[in-house]
Amino acid sequence: MTTPARKTQLAVTHQISRTVNYNDAGITAGVQIGTLPAGAVLKETMIITDTAFNGTTSVTLSVGTTATGTDLINATDVRTAAARVDTVVPVAKAGPLAADQAYYASVAFGGTTGTAGRSTIVITYHPNIG
């Protein structure tokens, strides 16, 4: 299922977001966060972990333009509760986007999956500047 790009008529910062859990279907293969509209300029990617992931060895979360991509966030550790990662989007990936672009999150478990974990991914952007 493709999520349509979102844009309001107001000149304000927009965002797309999704909460992911350790046991979400497809989380290791990547789940769609949302789609940004053509012309958007990305600002920041945030990961807010409110329940630590408890895999046995390591647990990392990545965000990108493909199901397991790392364009915006590359393997940040989500094994700590109350952790927050705010990352400015790299200039080369910020846009403006030439076409609508979907963004995905994936979780990589080193060892066993565990029994807990929840993070919210937020991507902020400015729609079609100009």
Q: 36: which residues sit within 8 A by CB, 6+ positions away?
A: 5, 6, 16, 42, 97, 100, 101, 103, 123, 125
Encoded tokens for 129: 């500047």
130 pLDDT tier (thresholds 50, 70, 90) = low
Total domains, the chain: 1
Cβ count within 10 A of residue 28: 15
Residue 124 has pLDDT above 70, yes or no: yes
71 or 83: which leads in pLDDT: 71
What pLDDT is recorded for position 4?
67
Residue 106 belongs to a domain: yes
On whether residue 110 sits in a domain, the answer given is: yes
DSSP string, 35-57: EEPTT-EEEEEEEEEEE----SS
CATH number at residue 48: 2.60.120
Dump pLDDT digits (tens) for 37-70: 999 999 999 999 989 888 778 888 899 999 999 9
92 phi/psi in degrees, rounded to 5: -65, -20
Residue 34 lies in a domain: yes
Q: Is residue 53 part of a domain?
A: yes
Residue in 29, 56, 31 with CA at minimum distance from that of residue 121? 31
Q: How confident is the model at residue 96 (pLDDT cuts 50, 70, 90)?
A: very high
Confidence (pTM) = 0.85
Say yes or no to pLDDT of 1 above 60: no
Give the confidence band of 129 by pLDDT, cuts at 50, 70, 90: low
6 within some domain: no
